Each structure stands twice: as structure tokens, then as C-alpha cells.
Amino acid sequence: MPVASDSPVRLASSLDKLPGIGAKRVRLLSRLGIRTVSDLLRHLPLRHELLSAESSIEELVPDSIGSCRGTVLTTRFVPSMGRGRSRFLVTLGQPGRNVSLTWFNASYLRKKLHPGMTIRVRGKVALYGGYPQLINPQWEDLSPEAESQTPVPPTDDRLRPVYPSTEDLPSSVIEKILTDLLPRVLPGLSDPLPEDFLTHLAMPKLADAFRMAHFPANLDEASAARRRLAYNELLLLQTGMAIKRRYAQTCLRAPALRWSPAIDQHIRARFPFSLTPAQNQVVKELISDLTKDQPMNRLLQGDVGAGKTVVALYALLMAVADRKQGALMAPTELLAEQHFASISAMLAGSDVRLELLTAGQSTAGSAARQEQLQRIATGQADIVIGTHALVSGSVRFADLAVVVIDEQHRFGVRQRAAFRESLTPGTPPAPGSAPGSAPGSSPAPAQAHPPASTIPSPHILVMTATPIPRTLSLTIFGDLDVSTIQGLPPGRTPITTRLVPPEKSDEVYRYLATRLAKGEQAYVVVPTIDAQGVASPAQLKNVRAHAQLLAERYCRDYHVAAIHGRLKRPRREAIMERFRRGEIHVLVATTVIEVGVDVPNATVMIIEHAERFGLAQLHQLRGRIGRGTGGRKNLCVLSAQPTTEDATARLAALVKTTDGFRIAEEDFAIRGMGEFFGTRQSGLPPFRVARLPQDMDLLHLARRDAAAILNGDARLSTPRWQLLRRALYKQYGPSLGLADVA
Ligand code: ADP
Ligand code: MG
């Protein structure tokens, strides 16, 4: 039933239920991501404009009220034709730029406006034939000799919102919709924060904040409103994160692993090198975590090639030394295979039993897979290495103690939660069947709370080569402790990076041949697999054609092979193995080689169409070289002709530095928070108002307040925090898995 046009409106109402917003506008709004009343309320203006603000002609914004001054260059009266209106046309000029003024049925202006006069006008700006035009503007004679007659009335100093808009849905239309809507929504809006709390913070109430954010009386109101709304978002997330963290500390139990100098020695004896001080520091942190019965929840960050794997292996082997199991999850099959190969090599001759479990490796349901699952479930496997197949639901561990998740930027908060759930020993992952497994299974979470200290959990270590800026480690990774490996292992040779225009391709590949002649190997990265589905195949290089070109023209004496995600695993594995053994000299690849692939003899990388890749991705790709210790020159060639500002900045950053931390900061600056860890990857709903890193001060404030609130009321169960609790569960319940927690 449609809602009457003056009745109160609920936040969750979808816009198509509202009268006064037609189907077409509902569709246009949804393109801006606005589907509900709440979305619309949170669609805040980019800025506000003073109605009276005078600008240059250039700055006139179509479809808004504009004001400018200039000299009258020409005037023309067009009498009415038939029943049409008469028009009085004026060309108003500023140096270098003109604008037309049109008045309808205003013949009296013939006597008032003359070429040579200086006037100021104000009116609605319309586009006519692509040029701005003012329709029926108010005007005022500014000529020195003019008596001050008919001044443009001193405007109401109203601030007009300028909304993010589209061509079909201009800001003024959004303004109109909100003008009608706000009075119906705001009175019923409850505030999750108590009044005295807000007074203390000197922040407005939520309803006032929304009113002031859209239609402020002055700019101070607008910024106070924005501050409150951003704080609200940050406080919700910080509270959610803090609840999770407390929950993990008090309700989850992990096995406290045994450790002794003998065990330590035993583990280190497996490594083909001694650990760097940075690695040793992290190992110390791991030992401290793993020997406690509180589950470790740690993020290990370290640049590409920093040597994270061996540190992770230390943790896995601590589980094995205590007769328990470890699991290592990689984001791609190739990387899982790679880990399997290198860890197998390090453990050769030991009695540690390894399993490789990927989707491609043995088909689910096959006899081989069943046997493998059996080995894992009965404890005949010590370390299981795999992809997300590990959390597919059919895998049960006999006694899982340590989980390592590699390259965390591919896995978000939600995946981590799924991991913990499905890997929790003795906890079947079917929703609702066990404590701690089912978001939404407990409608009254506070009562359905299992006795504390009973929910088993493995220790979790997540690793990333994309360093997490401080803001992010406080927000979407806020429930993790962070360890960092600074620098690279000893003996690394630096990588030189060059940006080369595509026309020089011939030179580049001739040079490549000279490097191959010295016994070195190379990666060539191209954006697509084959010509299928590519709009202009002639312009975009693909793996197949490019491998063929290299084999036929530049590398005739060498072995060139192509590798990409569509190849079957055994084939891919065989190719990688031959590349590792040096039988393949040039590997033409898509970004499947982005993470983890480790072939020390590969010293050259050529990336075609480099402008098409993201900064973090290019840094990852480049990290495939420079892994040898032989004192060779590592070269990364970015073949690109960047056309956008962003692409230029990305490539420049890459040429400038190989320091992953600096690159991550550049990336963050170029792309902003939303994009950096894409929302889909983080698994969290995006902020609508808060902007990081700009709102860092608010973030700290929110963090402090969240802790204070929970110190007083750990489960938000008192009436004072009921509304906060409700808002929190609505916003972050599913994504943070809060239903389990409270
Ligand atoms: P990432 O941090 O990118 O995962 P890896 O763990 O793959 O890096 O390590 C990169 C390379 O450095 C590997 O070849 C590894 O064997 C080597 N490496 C790691 N630690 C050391 C060390 N302490 N001394 C010498 N080489 C090391
Ligand atoms: Mg790695």
C-alpha cells in the first residue's frame, strides 16, 4: 500500500514505495546506489553554495543559481510570434568569455539595457546548445554613473546543497526530493547515542545533524553535522570491532602449544638459512601468542619477498611439534601449489605429513578426495595446504591448532570469520547447528550465549604483502594484532624499474634476448589470455599471441611458454616446474603469477599495458623478480603509455621506489579508502560519510569512546545503549558475525 504523502516514513522503506518519486527517478537514484530512504538521507551534499555567490562566467554551473557580472555587448529584441512569448536577448561579456541572457515578455528592458553597461545578474543557469544561459535573471546596473536603482535584492544567504549527481538526475532534483522527505523522516529518527553523551562531545543529535548536513543555516552547521555523522559511523565500527576482540579474548579457547629450546632448534634445522633479526622478532611474537590459550589473531605484514612464508611455517611446525595440525590457505591454486612445493622441499626427509588440497587437484567427491579428507579428519595429515577449498565445508580437521592465511588482501573480515567457524574443531559449519557458527541463529543473542571459555578456536595468522596503512589497521583490521617484517632478506639485489613507451617494444625484446643468453630467465605479463571478448584485440596483447610472437621473433633459441588461469592444474604445475628448473626461459603470463611465485633465476620482468594494472598489483608482480642472490641486475620494464592522471601517478610511484610501505601509502592516497581494500574484499559495508585518512582524529575519538562504552556495559545490554546496540547489529551484524558474539 503506498504511503500517504504526508505520513511519517521509515528509514528502511524502499524508495519505490514513496509517493512523489516516480519509477524513473527511483531507477536513476538506484544508479547512485540509493535504494532506501536511509540511503537517500545519507546521500550528503559534496558542498554547499551560497545562493548569492558571484562567479566568473566559466564557473557557472548548469542547473543551479548562478551570478556573475560583465559588460553588455549586444542586445536584441525578438517579438512574439503568434502566441509565443517575446524574448529580449543580451550577450554579456567578460574578457575571453560570453554568456547569453534571455528574458521572456520583457520588452521594457529595451529601454533599460544598452551595450557598454556593466551589470551584475543572477538567475537560473540553463544549457542551451551546449552553452550556459541565464533565464530571466535579476540584474543590477554597476556602471559608475548609474543611480543605484533596482539593485539585485540582497539574497537570503541560504546555502544550497550540491549533491553528487548524474546528468539525468541533477543536484536540484535530489535537493527537491530531500526537501520534501526530511520533514517526514527526521521527527521519527531515533538517536543511538544518549543526549548527555552528545552534550559531552558537543555534537548535535542525529536528526539535527541530518537536517544540517543537507540544509545548513551556515557553513559551521554543515561541518558540525558532517562530523557527527562521520563519528556515528566510526563509533559503530569501532564498537563492533571491540566487541569481537573482547569476545575472542574471553570466550574463545585455543590450544596453548608447547614450546622449548629443543623444539625451536628442531624447527630451525629445517630452514635452509638462518632467520633475519626482523624474522626472529616476529617468531618471538608468534611463540608468545601460540603458547597461550587465547587464540592468536595476528596480521603479519611484510613486503613482497620479505620472507613471510618461513615465519608462517614456524607457526605451523609448532602445531605439529605438539601433535596437532596446521593449515595454510592461499588465494590461488598456483600459490598453494608453490607453497606446497617449497614447504615439501624444506621438510623433505622429516616425518611431517603434508597434504595439498585445492579444487583442481582432486575433484570433490572423487575417491582420492575422500581418502584425503579422511586423512585430515583422522589426524594422519599434519599440515594441509590449500585454497579456499579448505573452508568449503567438507573439510574436517582432527585437531587443528594453527591456521595461516596468505595474502590477506584477497580475503576479508567475512572470510576470516568463515574460516574460524568452519575450522573450529568439532564445529560443523552448517548454520545454526553449533555454538558460534550461525549469524542470525540467535534472535536474542544475549540469552543464547554459550558458557564462556568453551568455544574452541585455532590460532590464526594472516599475512599480507600490501602493508596496511595505520587507518586501516584501526578500522577494517581492527580486531587483529599486527607484526611487521621490515626490509628484505640479506643478499637481495635491487630492482631497476623503467617506464618505456610501447613503440620501443622491439628494443626491449632484443635486450631481453641478451639477458637470456646469459642464462637468466624472464616473465612477460600481459593483460588477457586470448583475443576472445576483447574489444580491440589488435591493441591489447594476449598471452597466446604474445608467446607466439616472442617464440618466433625474439627468442627463437629459447623456450617460451604461456601460463594462465584457464590451464588445468597438472599442466600449469608442469610448466611452473620446468620454469623453476630452467627448462623454460620465458614465461608469458597473466596476473596468475602475481602472488608467491618464487624462481630466483628469473631476473627480468616485462609488463605490457602496465597502465591497466593497479599499483599494488604491479608491485606484487614486480616482486616475482629480485629473488636471487647472485648479484645480478634485476630489471622490470613497464611498457605503457599512461593517459590518465591516476595511471601516470601509479607508474611514477613504481619507478620511484620498490618499498612496499611507501607504495601502499601512495596507493592509499591515489585511490582512497573505499577502493584500497575494495569493500567487497573487506566484506564490510562502506562508510557513507566518514573519510579516511582525513577523519583520523574522529577515528581515535570513536575508538576511545567505544572502549569506554564497553567498559561500562560489555554487551550493550543496559537500556542506555539499547539503540546503539540495535544500530550496530543492523549495520555490522552479518559482516562482523556479531550474532555469535553478543
Ligand atoms: P614473501 O614474504 O613475499 O612471502 P617469501 O617467504 O616467499 O617472501 O620469501 C622470499 C624468498 O626469500 C624465498 O626464496 C625465501 O626462501 C627467501 N628467504 C626468506 N627468508 C630468508 C632468510 N632469512 N635468508 C635468506 N633467504 C630468505
Ligand atoms: Mg608469500
Cα 294 off chain centre by: 30
By the 8 A CB rule, do 685 and 732 touch? Answer: yes
Instruction: Tell which atom from ligand 1 comes closest to the C-alpha of 279.
Output: 23
Asked which of 134, 156, 178 is the last residue of a domain, the reply is: 156
**In this predicted model, what pLDDT tens digit does every residue of 349-369 receive, in sequence order?**
999 999 999 876 566 678 889
Average of per-residue pLDDT values in the chain: 83
What confidence tier does 482 reach under pLDDT thresholds 50, 70, 90? Answer: confident
The protein residue whose alpha carbon is closest to atom 5 in ligand 1 is 307
Distance 574 CA to ligand 2 centre (A): 21
418 in the same domain as 432:
yes
Task: Tell me the DSSP string of 415-455.
Answer: HHHHHHHHHSTT---STTSSTT--TTS-SSTTTSPPPTT-E
Structural domain boundaries, residue 112: 53-156
Task: Name the pTM for this structure.
Answer: 0.63
- Contact at 8 Å (CB) between 30 and 24? no
Tell me: do 343 and 460 sit in the same domain: yes
Query: What are the beta bridge partners of residue 70?
Result: 119
What integer is the mean pLDDT of 187-206?
Answer: 95
Counting residues of the chain whose pLDDT is more than 70, the rounded percentage is 83
Q: Which ligand 1 atom is at minimum distance from the Cα of 276?
A: 23
User: Does a structural domain hold residue 445?
Assistant: no
Assess whether pLDDT exceeds 50 at residue 709: yes
Q: Could you give the 3-state DSSP secondary structure of residue 21? A: coil
Nearest ligand to the CA atom of 485: 1
* Span 600-625, average pLDDT: 90
Nearest CA owner, ligand 1 atom 26: 489
Q: Are the beta carbons of 534 and 542 closer than 8 angstroms?
A: yes
Answer yes or no: do 378 and 523 share one domain: no
- 435 CA distance to ligand 1 centroid (A)? 39
SS3 668: helix
CA gap 399, 641 in Å, rounded: 53
pLDDT by residue (tens digit) across 510-568?
999 999 999 999 999 998 888 765 555 457 889 999 999 999 999 999 999 999 888 88
CA of 649 to the centre of ligand 2 (A): 26
Query: DSSP code of 653?
Result: H
**In 152-226, at which residue ranges do the beta strands (DSSP E only) sit?**
159-162
Give yes or no: residues 44 and 67 share one domain. no
Reference 13, options 44, 43, 39, 32; nearest CA is: 39
Q: Is residue 725 part of a domain?
A: no
- pLDDT at residue number 418: 61
Sheet containing 354-357: which strands, arranged edge to edge? 354-357, 383-386, 325-329, 400-405, 459-464, 297-302, 481-485
Q: How far is the CA of 658 from the centre of ligand 1 (A)?
A: 16
CA of 629 relative to ligand 2 center, distance in Å:
17
The predicted-structure confidence for 414-447, as pLDDT tens digits, reads as follows 556 666 665 554 443 333 333 333 333 333 333 3
Whether residues 436 and 512 fall in one domain: no
Could you give the angle at the alpha carbon of 688 between the alpha carbons of 685 and 691, nearest 5°? 105
Q: Are 545 and 531 in contact (CB under 8 A)?
A: yes
For the beta carbon of residue 484, count every other beta carbon within 10 angstroms: 18
* Ligand 1 centroid to residue 403 C-alpha, Å: 20
Whether 308 has a pLDDT exceeding 60, the answer reads yes
pLDDT value at residue 103 = 92
Q: Count of domains in the chain?
A: 4
Between the CA of 596 and the centroid of ligand 1 the distance, in Å, is: 10
- What is the reported pLDDT for 343? 95
Same-domain status, 20 and 57: no
Is the residue at 16 inside a domain? yes
- For residue 180, report the phi and psi dihedrals to the nearest 5 degrees: -75, -35
- Give 106: exposed, middle or buried? Use CB within 10 Å, 0-12, 13-18, 19+: middle
Ligand 1 atom nearest residue 311's Cα: 6
Among protein residues, the one with the nearest Cα to ligand 1's atom 10 is 305
589 CA distance to ligand 1 centroid (A)? 23
Give the mean model confidence (pLDDT) for residues 401-419.
Answer: 69
Residues 21 and 68 in one domain: no
Q: What value, to the nearest 5°, has the Cα angle with vertex 72 and ends 67 and 76?
A: 110
Residue 53 in this model has a pLDDT that exceeds 80: no
What is the number of the ligand closest to the CA of 595? 2
User: In sequence order, what are the residues at sequence separation of 6 or more whose Cβ sits closer than 8 angstroms to the Cβ of residue 465?
Assistant: 301, 302, 303, 304, 306, 308, 407, 409, 595, 619, 620, 623, 660
Among 634, 657, 680, which residue terminates a domain? 657
Test site for ligand 1: of 279, 344, 597, 598, most ligand atoms within 8 A of the Cβ: 598
Q: Are residues 499 and 635 in the same domain?
A: yes
The 10s digit of each residue's pLDDT in 227-260 is: 999 999 999 989 998 888 888 778 888 999 999 9
Tell me the ligand closest to 330's alpha carbon: 2
DSSP 248-298: HHHHEE-------HHHHHHHHTTSSSPPPHHHHHHHHHHHHHHTSSSPPEE
Query: What angle do helix axes 660-676 and 615-622 make, rounded to 10 degrees?
Result: 140
Task: Give the phi and the psi of residue 98 in degrees, each rounded to 5.
Answer: -120, 160
Q: How many CB atoms lie within 10 A of CB 488?
A: 23
Decide if 59 is inside a domain. yes
- Is residue 482 in a domain? no
Identify the residue whose C-alpha is closest to ligand 1 atom 15: 307
Measured in Å, residue 307 CA sits from the centre of ligand 1 at 3
Whether residue 621 sits in one domain with residue 539 = yes
Give the helix ranges, DSSP H, for 465-568: 470-474, 505-517, 543-549
Sole residue written with cell 620511484: 656
Measuring CA to CA, which residue among 32, 244, 311 is closest to residue 706? 244
Higher model confidence: residue 489 or residue 619? 619
- 3-state SS class at 337: helix
549: cell is: 610472437
Distance 488 CA to ligand 1 centre (A): 8
Q: What is the pLDDT of residue 596?
A: 55
Q: Say if strands 400-405 and 459-464 run parallel, antiparallel, or are unpaired.
A: parallel
Q: Residues near ligand 1 with C-beta < 6 Å?
A: 273, 275-276, 279, 302, 304-310, 465, 489-490, 598, 627
In-domain check, residue 179: yes
Ligand 1 atom closest to 304 (CA): 3
- From 273, 303, 408, 603, the mutation candidate for ligand 1 (largest count of ligand atoms within 8 A of CB) is 273
Could you tell me the CATH number of the domain that includes residue 558? 3.40.50.300
428, 549: one domain? no
**42 and 70, same domain (yes or no):** no
Query: Is residue 400 a contact partner of residue 425, using CB atoms and an 8 Å limit?
Result: yes
pLDDT exceeds 70 at position 674 = no
Cα(624) to centroid(ligand 2), Å: 10
Closest ligand to residue 620's CA: 1
Choose the final residue of a domain: 605, 622, 657: 657
Write the CA distances from 395 to 430, 570, 679, 717, integer angstroms.
12, 22, 28, 37
Which ligand is the nearest neighbour of the Cα of 490? Answer: 1
Same domain, 91 and 106: yes
- Which residue, by CA, sits nearest to atom 9 of ligand 1? 307
Q: pLDDT at residue 409 above 60?
A: no
pLDDT at 33: 86
Instruction: For ligand 1, atom 20, name the residue with the nearest CA.
Output: 307
711 within some domain: no
- Among 108-112, 151-155, 607-611, the minimum mean pLDDT is found in 151-155
Of residues 115, 66, 107, the one with CA closest to residue 90: 115
Q: What letter represents residue 199's amino acid?
A: T
Q: Which atom of ligand 1 is nearest to the CA of 342?
A: 16
**Is the pLDDT score of 3 beyond 50?**
no
Domain membership of residue 329 (yes or no) is yes
pLDDT at residue 609 greater than cutoff 90: yes
**Nearest CA to 369 among 379, 378, 382, 358?**
358
Is residue 636 within 8 A of residue 607, CB to CB? The reply is: yes
Residue 711 has what pLDDT?
94
For residue 306, pLDDT over 90 is answered with no
Residue 445: what pLDDT?
Answer: 37
Looking from the CA of residue 275, the nearest atom of ligand 1 is 23
At residue 607, the pLDDT reads 96
| CATH code (residue 83) | 2.40.50.140
What's residue 362's pLDDT? 62
Please say whether the beta carbons of 347 and 354 come within 8 A. Answer: yes
What's the whole-number mean pLDDT along residues 589-597?
73
The pLDDT, as a whole number, for residue 265 is 97
pLDDT at 436: 34
Mean pLDDT of 165-191: 89
With b meaning 16 or more CB within 10 Å and e meaning fewer, what string describes 164-192? ebeeebbbbbbbebbeebbebbbeebebb
Query: pLDDT grade, residue 75 (50/70/90)?
Result: very high
For ligand 2, an ion, list residues with CB under 5 A: 596
More confident residue, 10 or 155: 10
Cα of 410 vs centre of ligand 1, distance in Å, is 21
Q: Give the span between the Cα atoms of 143 and 141, in whole angstroms.
A: 6
Atom 1 of ligand 1, residue of closest alpha carbon: 305
pLDDT number for residue 592: 77
Q: For 544, how many CA atoms within 13 A lie in the half-sphere containing its CB?
A: 9
- Write the residue with the smallest CA distance to atom 12 of ligand 1: 307
Q: What is the pLDDT of residue 102?
A: 92
Question: Which bound ligand lies closest to the C-alpha atom of 310?
Answer: 1
CA of 242 to the centre of ligand 2 (A): 29
Q: What one-letter code names the amino acid at 386? A: G
Cell of 466: 600490501
pLDDT at 439: 35
Q: Point out the ligand nearest to the CA of residue 308.
A: 1
pLDDT of residue 444: 34
